[in-house]
A and B are shown apart, each in its own frame.
Chain A
Amino acid sequence: MEKLAKSLVVVLILLVVAVPLLGRLTTSQPEIVELRARMPENGGWSQEFIYGQVDVPIKLRMTSDDVVHGFALGQSSQPSVEIFPGKFSNAELIFDQPGEYTFYCTRWCGANHWRMRGTIVIEGPTTADQPTSVPPLFLQLGLDLDAPHLARVIPQNRPDSARARARANALPAGLTDGDTIWSNSPEALWIDLKADEALDDQVIWDMVAWGLNQQGSPGWLEQGRELYTQNCLACHGESGKGDGVMVRDLPPMNHDKMGSEATRPPDFSDPAVLLGASPALLEGKIIRGGMGTGMPYWGNIFTSEQIRSLVLYLYRFQMELTEKP
């Protein structure tokens, strides 16, 4: 009797231990990659690297170990996949080119949300001709992204592209030249125009705004707003003042020591900040990140078109730019 009782206890305990472990072994599917999402403070993605082959689907089975996360591929138009705690979300990815692809979290899951990134490494032969990559403009121009760039000439009133549109026929041809617009800060453009045109200062600022407005591709305003809201607002703030919820404990930015410490972002509501920065410089900052200031890099997350839309959207903190030029 006693032996039977002892055996029963041992068998029950062994069952409890063995059944789940055996179940785990027998139901595991090696062809499926299980990816667990955790806040960066809790470890981030369970796999920092995922390896695959060209044209071979990667099946992802994702769950969250804490809060709601999102999964998206950088520089991709595919919608993100929501990842809920305790539930499993599936996604299938296929790549036709070898290379390294960034995946990242799309939900503000915590203070270090932007650190939730990983890499998918795809190996195999190149199956199509790859376009030659062109270095971004800030590299071509050799811009020092961390050099002070505060504008010294400030408009009396907010520049408005609509006011300049009325005199579109009389606007200088240079204002539609993309290279010129992207390579120069609004202040630099204003100084150039001021030297050539005997016009009122405010009229010239409106012309500069019009020139920038010409650079937007269709849908840029909505795209820029969406990107800013999803990715920038938590630090840069709704009004661009650099007072987002994630940075309220940081010291204000010192423009003479940019890049040397983690600070609040620059105050875009200060005209000197944006009007002294060329689109190429802003593009460079977005691509490269803040390099020590705490701002993440977005170069492998956003497409070139997305970054340009975002740059133009930033100027809206100082100018009236609209979707229709």
Chain B
Amino acid sequence: MGAMEKAASYRFDLTRYAWVRRLLTSRWPQFILRAVTLAGFMLVILTGFIGSPVGSRNFAVMFVWIAWWSALKLIMLPFGGRVWCSICPIPMPGEWLQQGWLVKPGGKKFNLGLRWPRRLRNTWLQSAGFAAIGLFSALALTTPVVTAWIFVGLIIVAVVVSVVFEQRSFCRYLCPMGGFIGLYATMAPLELRPQPDLTSVEKGAAVREWPRGCPWINNPAALKANANCGLCLECLRTESGESMALNARSFDAELGQPGAFRLDEAFLSLGLLGSVMIYSAVFQGPWGALKNAALYAGSPAWWGFAAFFLLTSFGLLPALLAGVSALVRRTGNLGQPLQMVFTRFSRALLPLGLLSWIAFTVSFAFGKMAYLWPVLSDPFGWGWNLFGTAAVEWQPYLLNATPVIEAVLLVAGLIWSGRTVLKTAGQLGVRGERRWAAAPVLLFALAGTLILLWLLIG
């Protein structure tokens, strides 16, 4: 193991401190946070339906798309991975019905308990959901009632799925945000894992215990990736909970290691990279016709936008990377199937995707964050002034600094992805004199970075 991989595998068990473990094994802190976020999202729905239809003056739009969505991408996801999933209120009503309890197991269950269809145990539906929200994003960002309907829809679907299927099937296989968060949680410096020195006897005991203990339908004893662990912490609360640890780790700890990546995950990875480019063009670009096309859902122009969005994100980018992967496979004289080469390079591009989303969020959120103060005092846009901030005028924050921050983030994403591409190429067998064979993938990443630099900074 090289020095870089040793550094990448650094981990620090946070649960070695008794007070941390006590805090995490108690369901109350997490429950209280979820109850508060549930109330927050109820307010989102209420303001969306009965508040001002002016997006910039409505709590629903400002809270969801400026505060929450930005905090998710800037803080929660890069530093906590799926930490949002652990306090997400969307599945809460469904879980309450399904399990019959909130903090203390027991009570009457209301659940058919079906297993999620085998063919759908992947991220395809999550990709579709994320793309669907993306197609209506301009509308949702300007129309509070659309935002409210999105959340009502998510809660209804979550309740139905919770009643029909087992555990948190909704979160794992359907939630549009779940796919996005899960994929990029790979690079988070936080993980829930079995203790490294677990004996086979302890593992066996844990496996018998954990099916009840993991609502995300994992076998925690074999947990190696962040993507499907929702940090719900239930495994810590079982009798075998001592066998699990919440680790702080380096950002590259998981991505730096060889890891399987399915075709659906590869498409999601590239779809998210394509999406952020299109979001950047729509929201930060100077093209009024494109903004109008994205806004007027159902119009002929919108159908053109939808086709462009889907074909670019889920057609063009995967096709380009597949071509590039075929070139690498040929020039690098690799024996692995093309699909494996393609999916592994898709995984290597995750850092560029994540940092592109963060860069986009910096440009988007800091420009609009000042709208938050008036809606805090006047969430419904009814002319209230609860905290004296209703008249705060809009002004963009960090106007001069954001281009620099965005450029640094994008270059960092390129370097991180570049390193990962080279490492991945090495793992695939591109070594020695043929090392240059990975250059097309690096050029692919460079082209993506340049496009984003152009879109965001100009």
Contacts and interface: CB of A to CB of B under 8 A. Distances in A.
Given A2-B103, A2-B106, A66 B35 contact: no
B448 interface: no
B228 interface: no
Contacts of A198: none
A66 B53 contact: yes
Interface in A143-177: none
A6 B108 CA distance: 14
A86 B374 contact: yes
Contacts of A85: 54, 56-57
B31 interface: yes
A65 interface: yes
A12 interface: yes
Interface string A8-36: 11001101110010011001000000000
Given A5-B103, A20-B46, A12 B379 contact: no
Interface in B1-52: 31-32, 35-36, 38-39, 42-43, 46-47, 52
A64 interface: yes
Contacts of A20: 46-47, 379-380
A134 B375 CA distance: 53
Nearest to A61: B383
A12 B31 contact: no
Nearest to B92: A9
Contacts of A65: 52-54
Given A16-B43, A24-B382, A86-B374, A2 B107 contact: yes
Interface string B52-79: 1110110000000000000000000000
A66 B54 contact: yes
A12 B37 CA distance: 10
Interface in B85-133: 92, 96, 101-104, 106-107
A17 B383 CA distance: 18
Contacts of B106: 2
A318 interface: no
Interface residues of B, number: 30
B38 A9 contact: yes
A9 B35 contact: yes
B81 interface: no
B381 interface: yes
B293 to A, nearest CB: 18
Contacts of B416: none
Contact of A12 (B39, B56, B107): B39
B381 A86 contact: yes
B93 to A, nearest CB: 9
A61 B384 CA distance: 13
A109 to B, nearest CB: 14
B57 A13 contact: no
A108 interface: no
B384 A23 contact: yes
A-B residue pairs, 3 tightest by C-beta: A86-B57, A12-B39, A5-B102
Interface of A: 1-2, 5-6, 8-9, 12-13, 15-17, 20, 23-24, 27, 61, 63-66, 85-88
Interface of B: 31-32, 35-36, 38-39, 42-43, 46-47, 52-54, 56-57, 92, 96, 101-104, 106-107, 374, 379-384
15 contacts: A1-B104, A2-B102, A2-B103, A6-B102, A9-B102, A12-B39, A12-B42, A20-B47, A24-B382, A63-B52, A63-B383, A66-B54, A86-B54, A86-B56, A88-B383
